[in-house]
Structure 1
Amino acid sequence: MDALEARVHRQLERMRELADRMAAVRVRETSADGVVTAVVDGNGALVDLELSDGVAELSPTDFEQTLVSTAASAARRAFAERGALVTGFNEEAAEDG
């Protein structure tokens, strides 16, 4: 019984650690021209946006495309990071099986 209880506590602690690490995911991406920098969280939500002075030289359409593509790239990287965390968690869980 003690071994089972210890195993459950280890699994619970690993799950809490996974949740904390997933909540801490932040990815920063800057457009190729350096005009837009987007920061997203692990859910792909935009949490920060920085625009350089060069934004004034972009047309509205170019600005929109740059913003969307930069934020989307950051979101893809954030999802990949979260996926790697989950994969690592699952591999550890399988080893403890």
Structure 2
Amino acid sequence: MSEQQVEEIVDRVRTQLGVLEHTLDGLGAVRGSARNEDGSIVAHIDGRGALAGLELAESVTRRDAVELGAEILAAVHEAARRAGAERARLLQDLRSALG
């Protein structure tokens, strides 16, 4: 194997390592957020799919409990979907870069 071939391999590995590091950083920063129609409920999901925050306006205390629960779940599910979509995009970019 020539020195040039070795250098090309090393360059390729460095590039792939950079892509992997970028992806790992991106995965650590993945967040998904969603709010209900009137903005009184905001859910935040982290990159692992865990609920990272839930903001409830004071006005939600006057709502029916079943309706409120459904609105909270809808916001949480949408936030999780958004976080999952971002995670999937990052992983697809990684797959494409690594060929």
Aligned Cα RMSD in Å? 1.3
Q: Which amino acid aligns with 1:16?
A: E
Return the match for 2:35 from 30, 40, 59.
30
Return the match for 2:65 from 47, 60, 63.
60
Sequence identity, in percent?
Answer: 31
TM-score under structure 2 normalisation?
Answer: 0.85
**Alignment deviations for residues 34-86 of structure 1 (CA, whole Å, 9 cap, x no partner):** 22101111222111111111111112212211111100111001111111111
1:19 partnered with 2:24: yes
1:7 partnered with 2:12: yes
Q: In 2, Cα distance between the equivalents of 1:65 and 1:36?
A: 11
Q: Which sits farther off after the overlay, 54-63 or 66-75?
A: 54-63
Unaligned runs of 5+ in 1: none
Q: In 2, Cα distance between the equivalents of 1:69 and 1:43?
A: 18
Structure 1 runs, 4 residues or longer, greater than 3 Å off = none
1:79 partnered with 2:84: yes
CA contact under 8 A between 2:19 and 2:97: conserved in structure 1? no
CA contact under 8 A between 2:33 and 2:78: conserved in structure 1? no
Q: Which sits farther off after the overlay, 13-22 or 53-62?
A: 53-62
Which entry has the higher C-alpha Rg, 1 or 2?
A: 2
Say how many residue pairs are matched. Answer: 94
Q: In 2, Cα distance between the equivalents of 1:11 and 1:46?
A: 32
Unaligned runs of 5+ in 2: 1-5
